[in-house]
Amino acid sequence: MAAFRHSIQEQIPALRRYARALTRDAELADDLVQDTLVRALRSEHLFHGGELRSWLYTILTNLNRNRLRSLARRPTLMAIDDNDAPDAAGPEAGARDIERALDSLVDDQRTALLLVVLEGMSYREVAEVQGVPIGTVMSRLARARAHIKGYLEGQRPVLRRVK
């Protein structure tokens, strides 16, 4: 039991980094990590070996998905900052463009991209975390990369035709 808790404790910095990338809010990310740790410790009896890291990322991803679903039911309020000017120049402008490009991704694509690029997970591990086949992960990554490239090159997003 102490070994299990120690193994979980070793994963906390990586969980915090991933949660901050997902939420872009330090306090919210810390809450998400804390909820993940509480759920993991309560569900220790459900962990039957395997990759602890993937199991914790799965818990965190599912908690974030549930949070986003509950937020979707509420109206969104956003403050307008002086820094939101589209013609802002300087080194910060590129980072803001990348951040906006990441924000414009579909949640599953952003999650897959962050797990591979930020956390260095293999496609197999990402597939396990997201509960999908590896081919789906590869497709999500390809679409995410193409979307970000197009966004940064100034292309307008393609609208899907609904029948």
Model-level pTM?
A: 0.65
Contact 100, 151 (CB under 8 A): yes
30's CB contacts (< 8 A; 6+ apart) are: 16, 19
DSSP string of 59-70, one letter each residue: HHHHHHHHHHHH
Determine phi and psi for 57, rounding to 5 degrees: -65, -35
pLDDT at 73: 76
Contact 37, 55 (CB under 8 A): no
What span, in angstroms and rounded, lies between the C-alpha atoms of 37 and 97? 33
What span, in angstroms and rounded, lies between the C-alpha atoms of 135 and 147? 18
93's CB contacts (< 8 A; 6+ apart) are: none
pLDDT at 90: 46
pLDDT at 99: 82
Q: Report the SS3 class of residue 131.
A: coil
pLDDT at 79: 61
pLDDT at 76: 58
- pLDDT by residue, tens only, the chain of 163 residues: 788 888 999 999 999 999 998 888 899 999 999 999 999 999 888 888 788 899 999 999 999 988 888 877 776 555 655 555 555 444 455 566 778 888 888 888 999 999 998 888 999 999 998 899 999 999 999 999 999 888 888 776 555 556 6
Nearest to 1 by CA among 47, 59, 56: 47
What span, in angstroms and rounded, lies between the C-alpha atoms of 158 and 150? 10
Task: Say which DSSP state 50 is in.
Answer: S
Nearest to 139 by CA among 149, 155, 128, 127: 127
User: Domains in the chain, ordered, with CATH?
Assistant: 1-74 (1.10.1740.10), 89-157 (1.10.10.10)
